């Protein structure tokens, strides 16, 4: 019983502030080792590039080919951090999740939540981030200024109206059209065509969004969310609807770097 109480209280606000995720990139010949209760990341020259206490670990992400030893598994279980082995595009190959699996309280709250309310906040956050990128533009021509104003109307609608799922998606679609038209106007871009790979921008966005999706999937697995039950995207067989929802506010990271 005491162990169960510990599991439910382990993920506190302090954990988000104090605990860390260590990423080991074996594609760059990085290696993982332990010294007493410390985890060490070394480069190809055997120089330590990172060291931290195992007590402060939330998870270890290993990118690329890697052999998991019993020592690593024992350390993960002893100190309660999770392990994820990822492909180069961040897709989960295997995972060892410690300390949070079977969190029925989390699952119950997830299944009972009001999808439209949370979904509206997610899309609001996404549009605010899109507007932020437009406001960062040095050359605010007429199209950029108009798009910023139109996104203000979308933000106002999401802030002051209780919308249905279809209404939220309609606002999101309008905002996306305004944003892409203004943000990539100097590149003579015809527009967003998911998975079409018809031009360098669409191809780059597809790759970036795919990596973002996979990384978000890892984060949700780490907290034991049911990634197939979303709040905005509808559910159907094998689609990770919650991941589809949660990547929306972070797409601007890919948009800015493309």
Rounded CA separation 32/203 (Å): 34
Query: Mind listing the pLDDT tens digit for each residue in 7-43?
Result: 334 466 677 778 899 999 999 999 999 999 999 999 9
Can you give the pLDDT at residue 101? 64
What are the φ/ψ torsions at residue 40 (nearest 5 degrees)? -125, 140
Can you give the pLDDT at residue 206? 94
Q: Bridge-partner residues for 84, per DSSP? A: 61, 95
Tokens of 72: 């690593």
Summary mean pLDDT of the chain: 89
Q: What is the mean pLDDT of residues 160-170?
A: 92
Rounded CA separation 179/8 (Å): 41
User: Under CATH, which number does the domain 2-101 receive?
Assistant: 3.100.10.20
Query: Mind listing the pLDDT tens digit for each residue in 171-221?
Result: 999 999 999 999 998 887 877 888 777 888 889 999 999 999 999 999 999
C-alpha pair distances (Å), 163 with each of 61, 63, 128, 173: 38, 41, 17, 14
Contact present, 101 and 224 (Cβ < 8 Å): yes
Q: What is the pTM of this model?
A: 0.85
Q: Do domains 2-101 and 107-257 have the same CATH topology?
A: no
More confident residue, 174 or 105: 174
Domain locations along the chain: 2-101, 107-257
User: Under CATH, which number does the domain 107-257 receive?
Assistant: 1.20.120.920
Give the chain's radius of gyration (CA, Å): 21
Q: Place 99 in a pLDDT band, splitting at 50, 70 and 90.
A: low
């Amino acid at each position: 019983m005491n162990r169960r109480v510990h599991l439910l209280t382990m993920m506190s606000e302090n954990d988000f502030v104090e605990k860390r995720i260590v990423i080991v990139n074996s594609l760059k010949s990085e290696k993982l080792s332990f010294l007493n209760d410390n985890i060490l990341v070394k480069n190809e020259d055997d120089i330590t590039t990172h060291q931290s206490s195992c007590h402060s670990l939330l998870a270890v992400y290993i990118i690329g080919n890697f052999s998991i030893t019993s020592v690593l598994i024992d350390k993960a279980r002893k100190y309660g951090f999770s392990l994820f082995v990822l492909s180069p595009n961040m897709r989960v190959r295997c995972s060892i999740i410690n300390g949070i699996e079977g969190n029925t309280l989390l699952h119950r709250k997830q299944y009972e939540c009001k999808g439209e309310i949370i979904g509206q906040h997610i899309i609001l956050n996404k549009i605010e981030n899109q507007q932020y990128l437009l406001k960062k533009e040095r050359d605010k021509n007429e199209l950029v200024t108009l798009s910023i104003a139109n996104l203000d109307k979308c933000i106002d609608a999401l802030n002051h109206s209780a919308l249905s799922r279809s209404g939220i998606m309609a606002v999101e679609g309008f905002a996306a059209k305004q944003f892409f038209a203004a943000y990539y106007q100097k590149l003579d871009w015809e527009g967003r065509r998911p998975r079409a790979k018809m031009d360098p921008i669409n191809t780059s966005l597809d790759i970036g969004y795919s990596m973002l999706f996979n990384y978000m999937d890892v984060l949700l697995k780490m907290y034991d969310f049911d990634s197939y039950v979303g709040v905005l995207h509808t559910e159907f067989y094998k689609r990770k609807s919650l991941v589809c929802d949660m990547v929306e506010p972070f797409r601007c990271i890919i948009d800015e770097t493309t």
